[in-house]
Structure 1
Amino acid sequence: MSLEKIAIIDIGSNSMRLEILARRGSDYWLVEKQKETARISSGMYNETTITRESLERAKLALEKFSSLIAFHRADHIRCVATSAVRDAKNQADVLELLGSNLPYKIEVLSGEEEAFYSYFGVKNSLDLDDGVVFDVGGGSTECISVRKGQMDTVCTLPLGAVRLTELFFRKNQGPTSREWKKLEKHIDRVLSEAPSSLLSSSPRLVGVGGTVRQIARISQRLQKYPLYPIVHQYVVEKREMDRIMTSVREMSFSQRSEVLGIPRDRADILPAGILLISRILDFFRSDSLTVSQQGLRYGLFMEYYRGGREKLSESPAKLTLRRISRKYGSYRDSRNQRKLTLALGRALFPDTFSDPRQRILLSTVSTLSMTPLYFHPVTDTSNIGPLFLEEDLQGFSHPERVMITLALIRSRTPQEQDFRKNMKPFSDMLNPDQINKVNLYARLTTLARDALLFSGGRLPVLSYTDPYLMIADPGNLDEDNHYESTLIQTQERDLGKGRNVILQWMRYIPPQGGIHYH
């Protein structure tokens, strides 16, 4: 398979970003990431004209990006501009100056197009059947309602962190109480003009954009969160966001950087941005926000990767599982392990594994247990953990990442003291039921592996009558075309959740009456 590289440039109102991704077959990965704080919208909101100084900063950023694109020999380039360039009265002059000597065209996205790509990036990176996606930028906010997994109502609002800071706050100073109240009323008034159909959606909110990600990192930093700084699918509670907002508002610029770790290029616009997001949560009557690392740029890439905008055939979690297993092994080679583990789960714990999400998580543990990364070196469990906790994975929540990692480690090192040691950094992330699920995934995965080893890699025939589980290697037909059964061994095994089973290991059994694999 040939390797191709795709470059995405996003000319935002505050930041300009370049991402170069490589693709080979169904796999892809990030090879270059660059950010320049050009703040092209600086000083434009009184006369809606982009200044010469801002254009010079943007031009220098594009020159850097072009050098990186040439260095990596990108095969495809997509460069888009959003709110600031879209709203500028001098848009033609801006495009002429910035586009001169560039080997690619600058495409100005409409508000609806920007909203679509934000939605498409989110939809390809997490499960969202019903809810609202909002993308807070420097100059505008896009809101997209999602119904039955599809984009429904779309609107673009003139609310952005840079725009609001410049229009309502004094330069280089913290906001006064009067300025704060005035901005709060302005945000509420603009939100009230949004289409009423947005409010009929599920209250689940997914936020995109630099300010949203920064709030998540502040929250993680204050909590000493074990997965810091991974923010994709991190959940921020409304009450916690309001506490952060109070702290940010009262701090000086330097304190925001030193205490909260806020980059200096975002320290001045964060108060307006976080107030905007807080009012958005109030507007939609939501008590929490799910953060998406992926938005417009990922949406642009996924349109190219998928060859269009067609509906996803599988969930992001399933697609991620296929990508990882193919990257580090073979999805096909894990087929029997996966099918047998799921069959055992459904037979022994039908209530638990009637839930499609539980089947995905068990399937993930079982599949990854067959990757070469997991087996080499045999006694080292440090490889699979960082992979699933640190790699760019779509479709899994933070607790699910931890559960899968711990289940993989537990299935390989079943000693209780070792498990407690691995569990300690994440003890606050999982509730008792989730910890029980970790043990269950691990034990079912181990049992399936033992059964496949017993039957020489072939799918054994299962038969379960509580508390007896018969695992039989079908063997070969005799001369009369009949099967014979022979008991090899009987043993008791604890599968967790108070369930002990008596295993009967058999050879040569009749083909009828077994558990069917799906």
Structure 2
Amino acid sequence: MQQRIAIIDLGSNTTRMIVVGYTPLQTYKLIDEVREAVRLAHGIGPDGKLQDIPMNRAIKTMRLFHQMCRGSGVDTIVPVATSAVREATNREEFLDRVEAEAGLRFRVLTATEEAYYGYLGAINTLNVRNGSVIDIGGGSTQVTVVRQRAVEASISRPIGAVRLTDRYVKSDPISAKDIKTLEKAIATQFDDVPWLVGQGGELAGIGGTIRALAEIDQKLRNHPIDRVHGHALSSERVYELYELFRGLSVKQRENIPGLSKDRADLILAGSAILTEVMRRGKYKRILISGQGLREGIFFEHFMLQHKPLIPDIRAFSVQNLARLYNYEVTHSFKVRELAVSMFDQLFPLHGFDAIARELLGHAAILHDIGNAVNYYDHHKHGAYLLVNSPMQGFDHREVAILALLVRYHRKGDVSVDHYAAVLNPGDDVLVAKLSAMLRLAEFLERRKNQVVQNIHVEIGKTVRMVTQAAGDNTVEVWDANRAAGLFRKAFGCDIEIV
């Protein structure tokens, strides 16, 4: 049964709400998302009290969020608060006001819970089995070490973009003296964490600072995929951006493409935290997660009483997207079976690895989702839907390859130019050959009746593909031979289908 859940995250800098429609253990889809920079932690003094103006901003925003939920069919609201409220000496007074004036009773997460939910959000949406997850918020930073997708160690430190900006950024642009003080304050927070030194492996990143770095990088590089989830930044790139921010005033940072004005003053301190962790841990790159604490809480509800870890993120993501667009199950799985069989039997002619085989299979499941828009040009519609959907567990290169396979499963000469910025050398050949196999598999399932049950490939000067059918397959053989031009071009040899 379809349900709607709203998860509200009251952070030190930003308050965010997501609304997700879902059927437990089956499918889910983001329905709405809204954010407001309330700066709740701004101005906290030595007494540790939240200030009146930020509290009023937060309460006003909570009231609006609650009204949005009431008017949009939300069944369950889960409001949580993190470090700013957790550490405030007047937190009970504030929480009572929120409940009285906005009608929401917030659960205050412990530092351990905050780290755990961030880990859940990342580990269920990024292909990271072993590595670390860093969550840089406005008031705190969490680092979690992951082994075989399980938490091995976790820390939370009271340093965040808002807290450090308020405390250490005293001039604009920041002075050399203040930079040294800021960097020393950050380094000191990790001096008692020996396991972080040289940790290495994959690093996944959560939080507004990290998303902002990805958005800046994408804008500066004209990145062809317009979403941060799955985007990767090298350590060198992170250090370059940090150096850039150090030399600019807030006003100058506001002109950086991809950086929102409400984060221009915070990006320096946030990127200083990331720089310290990456240098100390000797991480070579960071994989950006657009999913974090809110999504981690969602997965607890989505998985019901089960362990809130999706076993195979990539396969689930493909199935989720296919179901959302009402794919034809039997037809799609038969196309996958034929395409993968072709891949295996033609291995001497292509030599591609297991990842290429996996991507071909996933593209076969998704090849017809564009029919949800219109049959005409459904290959183009499908590619658009795929590249603009949350393909969890895939990096941007893999998303581009999947989109190209869907785009060329039906007709047309293969061109990878649009996605060249995220592809590797040789990917044009990979896409052409995989597309050729997917196209033949599609036309061998022309009538969507599974009449062609298997194929046998004989490799010679001419490739001979013998179909094994459960009935008359004249239509399929005829149409597959008509569609074989791409195969001849991609593989550089003739093919006969009988």
Give the corresponding residue for 2:178.
Answer: 179
SS of alignment partner, residue 153 of structure 2 = strand
Give the whole-Å Cα distance in 1 for the aligned partners of 2:465 and 2:447: 12
Contact 1:444 1:495 in 2 (8 A): no
One-letter identity of the residue aligned with 1:224: N
For residue 249 of structure 2, the aligned residue among 249, 252, 255 is 252
Give the whole-Å Cα distance in 2 for the aligned partners of 1:371 and 1:18: 29
What's the CA shift for 1:256?
1.4
Give the corresponding residue for 1:360.
Answer: 358
Give the whole-Å Cα distance in 2 for the aligned partners of 1:140 and 1:159: 4
Contact 2:134 2:141 in 1 (8 A): yes
What's the CA shift for 1:235?
0.7
Q: Equivalences for 1:417-432 in 2 at 5 Å?
A: 419-420=414-415, 423-432=416-425
Change (3 A) 1:412 1:375: farther
Change (3 A) 1:63 1:305: same
Give the corresponding residue for 1:403.
Answer: 401
Give the corresponding residue for 1:97.
Answer: 97
Contact 2:43 2:51 in 1 (8 A): yes
Give the whole-Å Cα distance in 1 for the aligned partners of 2:329 and 2:370: 12
For residue 324 of structure 1, the aligned residue among 321, 325, 339 is 321
Give the whole-Å Cα distance in 1 for the aligned partners of 2:353 and 2:233: 26
Query: Which range moves more in the overlay, 450-459 or 435-444?
Result: 450-459
Give the whole-Å Cα distance in 1 for the aligned partners of 2:78 and 2:158: 25
What does the per-residue CA deviation read over 1:437-482, in whole Å, with 9 as the maximum and x for residues that have no partner? 21122111111123233895234332234225442233469xxxxx
Give the corresponding residue for 2:124.
Answer: 124
Contact 1:389 1:405 in 2 (8 A): yes
One-letter identity of the residue aligned with 2:469: P
Matched, 1:334 2:329: no
SS of alignment partner, residue 464 of structure 1 = strand
One-letter identity of the residue aligned with 2:4: K
For residue 369 of structure 1, the aligned residue among 348, 354, 367 is 367
What does the per-residue CA deviation read over 1:128-152, in whole Å, with 9 as the maximum and x for residues that have no partner? 1100000000010011100011111
What's the CA shift for 1:186?
1.6
What's the CA shift for 1:431?
2.0
SS of alignment partner, residue 269 of structure 2 = helix
Change (3 A) 1:321 1:250: same
Structure 1: which 4+ aligned runs deviate by more than 6 Å?
A: 350-354, 487-493
Q: Equivalences for 1:99-178 in 2 at 5 Å?
A: 99-170=99-170, 173-178=172-177
What's the CA shift for 1:17?
1.0
Give the whole-Å Cα distance in 2 for the aligned partners of 1:94 and 1:430: 50
What's the CA shift for 1:351?
9.7
Which has the larger Rg?
1
Contact 1:130 1:202 in 2 (8 A): no
What's the CA shift for 1:174?
2.5
What's the CA shift for 1:499?
6.1
Give the whole-Å Cα distance in 2 for the aligned partners of 1:84 and 1:469: 68
Contact 1:41 1:50 in 2 (8 A): yes
Give the whole-Å Cα distance in 2 for the aligned partners of 1:309 and 1:495: 49
What is the RMSD computed on CA atoms of the aligned residues?
Answer: 2.7
Change (3 A) 1:14 1:367: same
Change (3 A) 1:330 1:314: farther
For residue 451 of structure 1, the aligned residue among 444, 449, 452 is 444
Contact 2:131 2:146 in 1 (8 A): yes
TM-score by length of 2: 0.90
Matched, 1:472 2:467: yes
For residue 438 of structure 1, the aligned residue among 431, 435, 439 is 431
TM-score by length of 1: 0.87
Give the whole-Å Cα distance in 2 for the aligned partners of 1:345 and 1:45: 64
One-letter identity of the residue aligned with 2:298: F
What's the CA shift for 1:376?
3.4
One-letter identity of the residue aligned with 1:18: M
Change (3 A) 1:461 1:218: closer
Give the whole-Å Cα distance in 2 for the aligned partners of 1:252 and 1:352: 53
Contact 1:18 1:65 in 2 (8 A): yes
Matched, 1:285 2:282: yes
Give the corresponding residue for 2:3.
Answer: 4
What's the CA shift for 1:198?
4.1
SS of alignment partner, residue 18 of structure 2 = strand
Give the corresponding residue for 2:225.
Answer: 227
One-letter identity of the residue aligned with 2:291: Q
Matched, 1:241 2:234: no
Contact 2:363 2:406 in 1 (8 A): yes
Query: Which range moves more in the overlay, 371-380 or 61-70?
Result: 371-380
Give the whole-Å Cα distance in 2 for the aligned partners of 1:398 and 1:308: 33
One-letter identity of the residue aligned with 1:357: I
Structure 2 regions of 5+ residues with no counterpart? none
SS of alignment partner, residue 394 of structure 2 = coil
Give the whole-Å Cα distance in 1 for the aligned partners of 2:81 and 2:53: 18
Give the whole-Å Cα distance in 2 for the aligned partners of 1:6 and 1:50: 29
Higher relative contact order (CA 8 A, sep 6+): 2
Contact 1:206 1:291 in 2 (8 A): yes
SS of alignment partner, residue 452 of structure 1 = coil
SS of alignment partner, residue 16 of structure 2 = strand
Contact 2:40 2:84 in 1 (8 A): yes
Query: Which range moves more in the overlay, 237-246 or 174-183?
Result: 237-246
Contact 2:134 2:142 in 1 (8 A): yes
What's the CA shift for 1:340?
1.2
What's the CA shift for 1:428?
2.5
Give the whole-Å Cα distance in 2 for the aligned partners of 1:490 and 1:178: 70
Change (3 A) 1:85 1:387: same
Change (3 A) 1:475 1:390: closer
One-letter identity of the residue aligned with 2:392: Q
Contact 1:153 1:198 in 2 (8 A): no
One-letter identity of the residue aligned with 2:97: L
